Amino acid sequence: MNPRLKKFIGTIAMIAFVIFYVMVIVAIAPRILTDASKGVEMAFYVIAGLAWALPLMPIIRWMEKKAG
């Protein structure tokens, strides 16, 4: 597959995943953090803010892999 096409498809997939991920986090955060302290809320958002990168690693590797 053409490297430019792979990067285009990967970029669209990553954008779609991040949008979905943000919607899920925004939907579940108020339910989980109802009576949480500010420290717990901050820890949740720091972890959630970094955790999106892990599922995207296979897509990034696929985009960078050489054909052949």
Predicted model pTM: 0.81
pLDDT at site 54: 92
pLDDT at site 2: 86
Q: How many Å apart are CA 31 and CA 21, to the nearest integer?
A: 16
Side-chain half-sphere exposure of 46, counting CA atoms within 13 A: 6
Domain segments of the chain as ranges: 3-64
Q: How many Å apart are CA 28 and CA 39, to the nearest integer?
A: 18
Q: How many Å apart are CA 19 and CA 28, to the nearest integer?
A: 14
pLDDT tens track, the chain, 68 positions:
888 899 999 999 999 999 999 999 999 999 999 998 999 999 999 999 999 999 999 999 999 888 65
Torsional sign, CA 30, 33, 35, 36: negative
